[in-house]
Amino acid sequence: MSARYADSGWMYTTSSAILEALSEAGVEFIFANFGSDHPGLIEAIAQARATGKPGPRVVTCPTEMVAMSAAHGYAQTTGRAQAVLVHVDCGTQALGGAVHNAAKGRVPVFILAGLSPVTQDAEARGSRNEFIQWMQDVPDQRGLVRGYVRYENEIRHGANAKQIVHRALQFAHSAPRGPVYVTAAREVLEQEVPRVPIDARQWRPVAAAAMNAESVEQIVQALIDAENPLVVTSYLGRSPAAVAELAGMAEQLGVGVLESVPSYVNFPATHECYLGVQWNERRQNAALAQADVVLVIDSDVPWIGAVSRPRAGARIFHIDADPLKAQMTLWYIGATTQCAADATVALRQIRAAASRLSTERLAQRRARLAAAHELWESEIERHEQIPATGLSAEYLVARIRAAIGDDAIVVSEAVTNFHVVSQHLRRTRPGTLFSSGGGSLGYNGGAALGVKLARPDALVVSICGDGSYLFSQPSVVHWMARRYETPFLQVVLNNGGWRAPRQAVLSVHPDGIAATAPSIDIDFPQPPDYGGIAAAAGGAHVEVVKTAAEVDTALARALRAIRAERRAAVIDAQV
């Protein structure tokens, strides 16, 4: 085999074509975890480098979950998919919950995986020559991710590899957006092919959809006639333009805005139409209880009906790129009009069609909203008071807000402190706070790296639970932070383990035996040295904070380490 298929020097192969297509599409990074399926790609990258051909930069990711999470954070920051390169079925499985997160978060990512060679007697370059290639030949590799991706396909021939890459990226970037998965056998990646010219304009995302005129009319009329109109949103803020339109509409019509488990900054927290964040609180939300017209825009869970819902008889309208929630088996919110439309376009339509309210009604609405906003703000402030002993998450987050400023970009995986981070950071600018949008823990560290690669000038902060820190594979994350000079601030909300399962069991069995059992196996006695893990892996600066009095100096030292020494910093905050 080696004699027949000895390296013939410079080649243009399927692998070269894939790299070229990624480059044409503006992909800047390949988050890579290489294996025996990738000689064609590694050779093509080496040849491109040797000839000075521009192409995506390779970022070595020692685990796939971190690679995928980095691409996730990068895409949340820029809106653009990056490539994640993984090894056959094994690397695909190791992407794990990060695929779920990108799918649920509707975040574009281009995943490329090799397939085991499809020949075994040296029939072609790349044919099997390692025992593992029999083990890694599985019947349905694409099936591993089929329930999560917007598009999946196998490149079976190099001749149209570029078109398949562009098509996959077109799916990734077209509403409702999400990850895509492409495979190719080792021999196909080695195949020498003619170069195909591509006109990138032909592969742009599908144009954003508008509502039909009748729906616009219905929604506008309902908003005008309402007593207490309310918008509920979770991820509208992935488009900064939509945030501006929402603020414009809120002001024009006097509509309140409530965020439900937000994964983006959807509305400035200082705006007087802002009514706060709801999460898993086990009580009725006041804004929802008062609303008689609710416009849900870009939300998967606008409320949890068993504990909190719009008032009886409220009229509900729904705008989303995918209002059917095609990937959710159980989903309904009682909306009488559902529109498949882009949030920015839809809000512009509403604003254009809405005649102004009478000055008097608008003033009344605005005054009521301003009072509700003020009440929310004073409640938030009350919780931020310095605690008498120890450290509260609310106080800590308030001090983080003061230390990092409005432009820092925060990724949050704070679990039972999710709402604390969302509310007390009081973000005002779109694109300065992200959470995964999914439910598979471990996103935060990789995401912070991705954000920092996208915005090297920005201060990047990850706020996560102690459990979520361990899920994120911190040794890999912090090795990468040093290797790629992407220092960020990591704040670990150390509450002694997993509080979420305790809250879950108490919500279902409030009087059960588990409620008062000495252990329900969710605590971390003898906790790891959280900061020490990052120090050992990537030379991170470490702070341990146990009281409110220590917070400001720890933050100042941590930020100095990041800015002056270009080191990541971990604050182990015992809340």
Ligand X SMILES: Cc1ncc(C[n+]2csc(CCOP(=O)(O)OP(=O)(O)O)c2C)c(N)n1
- Binding site residues, ligand X, CB under 6 A: 97, 415-417, 439-442, 465-468, 471, 495, 498-500
Q: How far is the CB of 85 from ligand X (least distance, A)?
A: 22
Judged by CB, which is closer to ligand X: 234, or 344?
A: 234
Judged by CB, which is closer to ligand X: 223, or 441?
A: 441
Q: Pick from Mg ion, ligand X, none: which does 417 bind, CB < 5 to 8 A by kind?
A: ligand X
Q: Which two tokens stand for residue 373?
A: 């906003």
Q: How far is the CB of 7 from ligand X (least distance, A)?
A: 42
> Alpha carbon of 91 to those of 44, 78, 178, 251, 279: distances in Å?
21, 26, 19, 49, 34
Judged by CB, which is closer to ligand X: 63, or 440?
A: 440
Judged by CB, which is closer to ligand X: 439, or 456?
A: 439
Q: Which two tokens stand for residue 156?
A: 């079976």
What radius of gyration, in Å, describes the C-alpha atoms of the chain? 25
Q: What is the secondary structure of 328-363 as a DSSP string?
A: -SS-----SEEEE--HHHHHHHHHHH-PPPPHHHHH
Q: Pick from ligand X, Mg ion, none: which does 441 bind, CB < 5 to 8 A by kind?
A: ligand X
Write the single-letter amino acid at 467. G
Element containing residue 168 per DSSP (H, E): helix 161-173
Q: Pick from ligand X, Mg ion, none: which does 445 bind, CB < 5 to 8 A by kind?
A: none
Judged by CB, which is closer to ligand X: 517, or 556?
A: 517
Judged by CB, which is closer to Mg ion: 315, or 499?
A: 499
Within 393-471, where are the H helices? 393-404, 418-424, 443-454, 466-471
Q: How far is the CB of 79 from ligand X (least distance, A)?
A: 26
Q: How far is the CB of 467 from ligand X (least distance, A)?
A: 3
Among 511, 492, 514, which Cα is nearest to 558's?
Answer: 492
List strand residue ranges (DSSP E) for 280-426, in order: 293-297, 315-320, 337-340, 409-413
Judged by CB, which is closer to ligand X: 473, or 486?
A: 473
Q: How far is the CB of 499 from ligand X (least distance, A)?
A: 4
- Separation of alpha carbons 205 and 207, rounded Å: 6
Q: Pick from Mg ion, ligand X, none: which does 440 bind, CB < 5 to 8 A by kind?
A: ligand X
Q: How far is the CB of 109 from ligand X (least distance, A)?
A: 18
Q: Which two tokens stand for residue 367?
A: 């005054």
Q: How far is the CB of 573 from ligand X (least distance, A)?
A: 12
Judged by CB, which is closer to Mg ion: 23, or 574?
A: 574
Within 174-320, where are the H helices? 186-190, 213-225, 240-253, 286-290
Q: How far is the CB of 489 from ligand X (least distance, A)?
A: 17
Q: Pick from Mg ion, ligand X, none: which does 101 bind, CB < 5 to 8 A by kind?
A: none
Among 575, 568, 513, 504, which Cα is nearest to 536's?
Answer: 568
Residue with tokens 């997993």: 498
Residue with tokens 């144009």: 207
Q: Pick from ligand X, Mg ion, none: which does 439 bind, CB < 5 to 8 A by kind?
A: ligand X
Q: Which residues bind Mg ion (CB under 5 A)?
A: 465-467, 495
Q: Pick from ligand X, Mg ion, none: which does 416 bind, CB < 5 to 8 A by kind?
A: ligand X
Q: Pick from ligand X, Mg ion, none: which does 47 bind, CB < 5 to 8 A by kind?
A: none
Among 89, 102, 199, 115, which Cα is nearest to 149's?
Answer: 102
Contact 482/568 with Cβ under 8 angstroms? yes
